[in-house]
Amino acid sequence: MEKGYVQVFCGSGEGKSSAALGKGIISAGEGKSVIIVQFMKEKSDNEERIFQRLEPEIKLFRFEKKTTCFSELSDEEKKEEITNIKNGLNYAKKVLTTGECDLLVLDEILGVIDEGIIDCNELIPVLESKSDNVSVLLTGIVLPDEIREYVDSISNIESLH
């Protein structure tokens, strides 16, 4: 059994989520099970329909309920969404603890940290719960220094213009 890893796609350029999702599709093609948890993403019916067709090899989860950008929510709505986001993070920890998949993609989790919704001390126990044969992909713009020691590979995607 191959050893799992933690890889980050970060930077100011476009394509971080696409790169992570592409790795998920490649893993599924190799017979591996993939779970994607998306954070802070706009809901897309077209995207959901595509992912439904990829089940059971690839499963997509979103815990947020609102379709509006987080920064535009009322304080009460933000509070509710923070609870939903933390539920998503708890689900990710459960998936890693139980070995429910071979590859876990935490899409835009670094943005959740950057927005101050969670801090690094809430993500670190999730990464520490990873079993040796599971891989984890993290995406977002900024990779905090506190997370770097848990990462095996960093792909920095920059915009040149």
pLDDT, tens digit, for every residue of 91-138? 999 999 999 999 999 999 999 999 999 999 999 999 999 988 899 999
Please tell me whether residue 105 adopts helix, strand or coil conformation.
strand
Extended strands (E) in 2-130: 6-10, 34-38, 58-62, 103-107
Q: Model-level pTM?
A: 0.92
User: Would residue 129 count as lying in a domain?
Assistant: yes
**What average pLDDT does the segment 25-31 reach?**
95
CATH number, domain containing residue 50: 3.40.50.300
Separation of alpha carbons 161 and 148, rounded Å: 27
Residue 1 pLDDT more than 60?
no
110 lies in some domain: yes
Q: Tell me, yes or no, whether 40 lies in a domain.
A: yes
How many domains is the chain partitioned into structurally? 1
Which residues span the domain enclosing 26? 6-156
Flag whether 161 is in a domain.
no
Q: State the average pLDDT for the chain.
A: 90
> At 126, phi and psi to the nearest 5?
-65, -50
Q: Who's near 132: CB < 8 A, 6+ residues apart?
A: 3, 4
Q: Tell me, yes or no, whether 30 lies in a domain.
A: yes
Residue 131 lies in a domain: yes
Question: What percentage of the chain exceeds 70 in pLDDT?
Answer: 95
Q: What is the pLDDT of residue 49?
A: 77
Is 1 among the domain residues? no
Strand order in the sheet with 103-107: 58-62, 34-38, 103-107, 135-139, 6-10, 153-156
Is position 29 within any domain?
yes
